[in-house]
Structure formats: structure tokens, C-alpha cells
Structure 1
Amino acid sequence: MLHLLLAVIYISFISLGLPDALLGSAWPSMYGEFGVPVSCAGAVSMIIAVGTIISSLQSDRLTRRLGAGKVTAVSVGMTAAALFGFSASRSFLQLCLWAVPYGLGAGSVDAALNNYVALHFASRHMSWLHCMWGVGASLGPYVMGYALTGGGGWNLGYRYIALLQIVLTLFLLLSLPLWRTPAGGGTEADPGPAMTLGQILRIPGAKAVMAAFFCYCAIEQTAGLWASSYLVLQKGVPAETAAGYASLFFAGITVGRALSGFLTMKLSDSRMIRLGQGIIAAGTAALLLPLGERAALAGLIFIGLGCAPIYPCIIHSTPEHFGAEKSQAVIGVQMASAYAGTCLMPPLFGLIANHITASLFPVYLLALWALMVLAYETLLRSGGKVA
């Protein structure tokens, strides 16, 4: 039964990744139809992100009341409904309204699933599950492209993904009995009181892990968003070549997480995180030094490989640092910090590139890296258990 539940969770992670890149791939076909500027994609993305932050902060309360299985099923159902809403939208305002349940569904399921896996499964599964999320995020644009090239339009692309989410919701509802007997025994839902945000922030190491997560996600999203522009503007790489190079960053993350799953059998979470940090530093140095186009390409791949183990290993080590009874609450604020980093820091570099110079891209990444390392080492010294 445990293996069957694990299979359901793996499918869930693939499905969760499917909608994440849809807006970016569909927006060139959408904004003209709605009669809005191309920049309005940022508004939709921001609404989704704010909803995700709010639901992440409420994940402890919801999971204690309903259990991870029900939270996951309800959240995926909300996402499916929101995607159908996207597909049926005829105005930009409708799109923004449907972005609210989209974001609220995404945050709860992310925090609940990550905590469940951290509590009941080995670190290798956390790495492989996040690798599966990358597979889903890569497949989403292909589904949208199939709908667009087939003449169905972006509406049909969203509808395809919504149907897949509905199928997943049914699977999750049928799997609910499996969630009631976790690997460690006992009942799935914890009837104890949920922690308030103030109580969470007073836990030794909580602020440090939030800062580490904020900086990590800022590095990942800034690199993914601005790598291509940096290569074009500073390295003289042709735009079409730069786009291919930038995609290797995401390939590095996906492949790196597949490899990380095997490495976690030999290395602890803390060693995996430090290893990833070292590889990011090497990749950033390759971008920073005047070593030419090939070095820049290698640098992006290394940054992706270095990013690979950090996110899953920080999450997996949360019960070790803070205890199983507090892990859901802490993972909730970690998710909120992650989304805050993805929302705030890439646009900040955009302002720097616009008003100063895009050549500061590796310097910006290096500064975030230094803060991440400092925050993580502070966590390890805070008195919590080291994974």
C-alpha cells in the first residue's frame, strides 16, 4: 500500500508542474485577444503568487484539520476549476478573478505534499519528486504548443491541463484511505492546535531557514528569467542561441535532481546543500570571469546543477531541524518565503539592468548566494538537529 501511495504522490508532482509554465507559453496568444499590454502577464502572475503565499501560511491549520490527503485533493480540484476558468475567460478581469483560486490551491498542496514526504519518505524521494515536478513543468508548454498548432487556441491548451488535473483529483480521492496510515504509523491528521505566524517565527532557526529559502528561490528564478538577456547583452551571444543556452539551466536542475536522489543515499541533507552551494559558486564564477561564450554556457549548467539539491534537501531536513510536530508550520512559511523571493528579486534585477547595467547579473547572483550560505549556516548553528 505504501508503494501505491508513493506512486500517487509521484503522479501528483508531475501534474503539479504541468500548469506552472502555461501562462508564459500561452500569453503571446492571449494578451492581444484581451486587448491588454503584454506586461499584464505580470499582474496575473502576481495574483497567483499572492494567493500561493496566503495558502502556504494557512497550510498548517488546514493540514491539521483535514490531513494531507484531503488538502491535496481539494487543492488540486481548486486548481482544475481555476484552469477551466482560464480556458473560458473572455476578459482580462475574468482571468484575474480565476487566478485567485489558482494561487490558493497551489500553495496548500505544495506545503502539504512536501511535509508529508519529508516526514514519511527518504531524502532520495524528495529529490526525485521535485525532478518529476520539473518534468511536468517542461511538458506543460508542449501541451499548450500542441493546442496552438492544432488550431484549438490557448483555451484548449488550458482545458487539456484542467482535464488532467481532474483525473488526478479523482485518483487522490480514491487514494484517501492510503493516507490514513503513514509509514511511521498512526493517523494522518494531527488534531493538535495550529501554530500562529508569531509562534513560528520565535522557533530557533525559523527566520534563518526562511531567509535561506528566500535567497535560493531568488537565485533560481533570477537565473531562469535573466540568463538569456545577460548572454545577449554582455557576451554577444545571438538571441536564438542564448535562448537554447538558458534552457540548459532548467535542464541542469532537472537532471541534477535525478542524480541527487542517488547521492542522498551516501550524503546527508546538509552535505548535499553545501555541495549544491559550492557548485552554484563555481557556475557564477564562470559567468563573472571574462572566459568567453563556452564558459558562460558551462556556468549556467553548473548553476542549474547546484540548485538541484538545495530546495528538496532543505525541505526534507525540516523535521530533523524543527521536529515532526512543527514541520508543517515551518514548511508553510518556507513556501511563503520561496514565493516571496520569486516575486520580488527577479524584477529587482530588471530594474538594476535597466537603470545601471545587465553586466551585474553574476554579481547579483553571487550576493544572493552569499546571503543564502550565511542564512543556512546560521540555521545549522541555531541548535536544531543537523540532517
Structure 2
Amino acid sequence: MYSLLLAIIYIAFVSLGLPDSLVGAGWPVMHQDLGVPVSFAGVITMIIAGGTILSSLASERVTRRFGAGIVTAVSVGLTAAALVGFSVSGSFWMLCLFAVPYGLGAGAVDAALNNYVALHYAARHMNWLHSFWGLGASISPFIMSYAVTSGMGWTGAYRTVGIVQAVLTCVLIVSLPMWGKVNRVAPPGQTDETDEAHGAATEPPGAGGHVPLAQALRIPGVLVILTAFFAYCALESTSILWASTYLVAERGVDAATAAAFASLFLLGITGGRFLAGFLADRVGDKQLIRLGFTTAGLGVAMLALPVETDVLALAGLVVAGLGCAPVYPAIIHSTPANFGRRSSQAVIGIQMAAAYTGSTLAPPLFGLVSAWAGMWVLPLFLAVLVALGLLMSERLNRLVGQRGRAERLARQP
């Protein structure tokens, strides 16, 4: 039962990655068919991001009431309906309308599923699951390309992914009884060292009471990890959007070569998470976060070095991707240990909101900065984000360590 549900969750993560690249891959054709400027893609992505942030913040209350299984199934169903809606949209306002359930479904399922895995599965699975998400995100541009070249049009790509999501919804509904059983039995070898301190053993949905947003934000260390998560997601999204332009404008790299290595940044994240899965249980989340930020910083430094050859800069982009790989899964997986199982859903929901805020705001912010200072500033911008993420994650480690020592002293006779 435990392994079968894990297999379903792996499939869910692939499917969840599929819609994330569709707008970017299809927009060159979509905006022409809809008769709107290229810049209107930002409107769609902002609506999706807004819905995602709202549903992430509400995920704790909803998941505690209905359980992770039901929330995941309903959210994937909501996303499937939105994608089918995209496929029948003949005007821009219809895309904006269907972008609302698209974002609401994505945020709720992301928070619920990540918390469930953090509570019930080993660290290696968190890394591998996010690697599978990257696989899904990498596949969707090919789906869009095939749909456009085969005559199905961009609507065919959305319809295809929508059908895949609908099938997954049916599978999740059938699997609902498994979620409750896994909830009641912790996986072999998995413990939460802070359970005793926080008074929260493995518990079914609804146990322990609702943790309000304001209360979660007052937990020592939450604001620190939110800043680290914001910095990481800002680093990732800014690199994805602007790295290719930087290589062409500042390093004189051929456009095709720059595009290929920019895609290798994403492949580095996906492959790095797969490799990190083999180390996660032995190394631990704290060390993975530290190693990830440090390696990403090394990659950014390689990107900035003023040398004649472009090889170092191109390799630096790949190294930065490998460094980014374990940070997101490790932050999520460490949440129950850092803040207690009872509060983990609330904290992860806020973390998801911080993640989407960073991903949404940082790329256009760098666009403004580069318009004023020049594209050369990209490595400096990325270095600031790396330093902020590393500094905040290390501060959290100190806070958690101090709290643990204080709790051990308090339990001594």
C-alpha cells in the first residue's frame, strides 16, 4: 500500500510539471491567434501566480479539514478543467478566466502534496519527486511543438495535457483509501526528532487543530526560511529567463549555443535532484541546502569571471543548475523537523506562497535593473540572492539548534 501510493505520487509529480511550460512554449503562436501583444503573456502568468499564492496560503485549513488525498485529487481536477478551458478559448479574456482555477489548483496541490511527502517519505523521495516534476516540465514544450507542427494547434497541446490531468484525477480518486492508511502508519525508519518537543506524533488529517497564518508566521525561524525560499526561487527563475540573454549580450556567445546551455541549467536542476536523492538520507537536508547554495555560488562566480574563453561561463551555468537542484526539496522536507509536524502544513503553504512570489517578482525586477545598469549586472544580482539564501538558511540552523538545546535542558530533572 505504501509503495503503491508512492508510485502514484511519482506519476502525479510528472503530471504536475506538464502544464508549467505550456504558456511559455506556446505563446509565440497563441498571441498571434488571439490578436494580442507578446507582452500579454505576463498578464496570464500573473493571474496564475496570484491564484497559486492565495491557494497556498489557504492550503493548511483546507488540507487539515479534508486530508491531503482529497485536496490533491480535487486540485488536479481543477487544473484539468482549466487546461481544457484553455483548449477551447478563442479570446484572451477567456484565457484570463481559466487562468484563475489553473492557479488555484496548482497552489493547493503543491502545498498539500509536498507536505504529505515531507511527513511520510524519506528525503531521497523528495529529491526524486521534484526531479520527476522537472521531467514533466521538460516534456510539455515537446507536446506543444508536436501539436503546432502536426496541425492540432496550440489548443491541441492544452487539450492533451488536460486529458492527462483528468486521467490522473480519476487515479487519485481511486487511491483515496490509501492516503488514510499511510497517514496512520509512519514509513519504516522515518521519525521526526521534534515530535516529542512539539507534542505532535503522526496524526490523521484534522488532528491538532488549525494553525492560523498569523500564528505560523510567529513561529521562530519561519520568517527566516521564507526569506531563504524567496531568494532561492528568485535565483532559479531569474537564471532561467535571463541567462541566455546575458551570454549573448555580454559574452558574445552565439544565440543557439546560449539557448542550449540555458536549457542545460534546467537539465542540471532535474539531473541534480536525481543524484541528490542518493545522498539525501546520508547527508541530511541541512547539508544539502548548504552544499546547494555554495555550489550555485561557485557557478555564478564562473559565469562572472572576465576571461576570454566562454567555456568557463557556459560551464558555470551548468554548475549553478546542479547547485540549485537540492535546495527546494531539502527546504520542504526539513520543514516538519524544523517546525513540528502539527505546523508543517501551514508553514509549507506559506513557503509555497513565498516561492511563487520570488519566481514572479524577481525576473521583471532584474529586467528593470538591467535596463538601468546593463546586462553585465546579472552575476552580481544572482550572487546577492545566493548569499541571502545561504545566510538565512544558516541562521535557521542556529535557531533550531538553540531551540533543541533549550528543550533538552528543560526536560532534564
1:165 partnered with 2:182: no
Larger Rg: 2
1:137 CA displacement: 0.3
CA RMSD of aligned residues (A): 1.2
Partner of 1:258: 274
Partner of 1:312: 329
1:241 CA displacement: 1.2
Contact 1:48 1:102 in 2 (8 A): yes
User: Which amino acid counterpart does residue 124 of structure 2 have in structure 1?
Assistant: R
User: Which amino acid counterpart does residue 232 of structure 1 have in structure 2?
Assistant: V
SS at match of 1:290: coil
Contact 1:180 1:187 in 2 (8 A): no
SS at match of 2:281: coil
Partner of 1:105: 105
1:35 CA displacement: 1.2
Deviations 1:281-331 (A, max 9, x none): 110110111133100111000100000000000100000000000000000
Structure 1 runs (4+) deviating above 6 angstroms are none
Partner of 1:378: 395
1:192 CA displacement: 3.7
CA distance in 2, matches of 1:344, 1:151: 35
TM-score (norm 2): 0.92
Contact 2:111 2:348 in 1 (8 A): yes
Partner of 2:33: 33
CA distance in 2, matches of 1:87, 1:72: 23
Partner of 2:311: 294
Match of 1:234 among 250, 274, 282: 250
Q: What residue ranges of structure 1 are gaps of 5+ in the alignment?
A: none
CA distance in 1, matches of 2:358, 2:34: 29
1:187 CA displacement: 6.0
Matches for 1:9-88 after TM superposition, within 5 Å: 9-88=9-88
User: Which amino acid counterpart does residue 273 of structure 1 have in structure 2?
Assistant: I
1:139 partnered with 2:146: no
- Identity value in percent: 57
CA distance in 2, matches of 1:360, 1:130: 30
Match of 2:355 among 334, 338, 346: 338
1:193 CA displacement: 2.8
CA distance in 2, matches of 1:356, 1:259: 38
User: Which amino acid counterpart does residue 42 of structure 1 have in structure 2?
Assistant: G
CA distance in 2, matches of 1:349, 1:330: 28
Partner of 2:409: none
1:191 CA displacement: 3.9
Contact 1:182 1:188 in 2 (8 A): no
CA distance in 1, matches of 2:224, 2:311: 36
CA distance in 1, matches of 2:233, 2:94: 29
1:378 CA displacement: 1.5
Higher mean C-alpha displacement, 165-174 vs 143-152: 143-152
User: Which amino acid counterpart does residue 150 of structure 1 have in structure 2?
Assistant: S
Contact 1:120 1:184 in 2 (8 A): no
- Seen in structure 2, the aligned counterparts of structure 1 residues 187 and 325 have a Cα distance that, compared at 3 Å, is closer
Contact 1:2 1:183 in 2 (8 A): no
CA distance in 1, matches of 2:171, 2:259: 37
Match of 1:210 among 203, 220, 226: 226
SS at match of 1:219: helix
Match of 1:282 among 270, 279, 298: 298
1:363 partnered with 2:371: no
Contact 2:303 2:379 in 1 (8 A): yes
SS at match of 1:381: helix
User: Which amino acid counterpart does residue 336 of structure 1 have in structure 2?
Assistant: A
1:200 CA displacement: 1.0
SS at match of 2:182: coil
CA distance in 2, matches of 1:167, 1:147: 20
CA distance in 1, matches of 2:226, 2:184: 27
Contact 2:184 2:203 in 1 (8 A): no
Contact 2:56 2:108 in 1 (8 A): yes
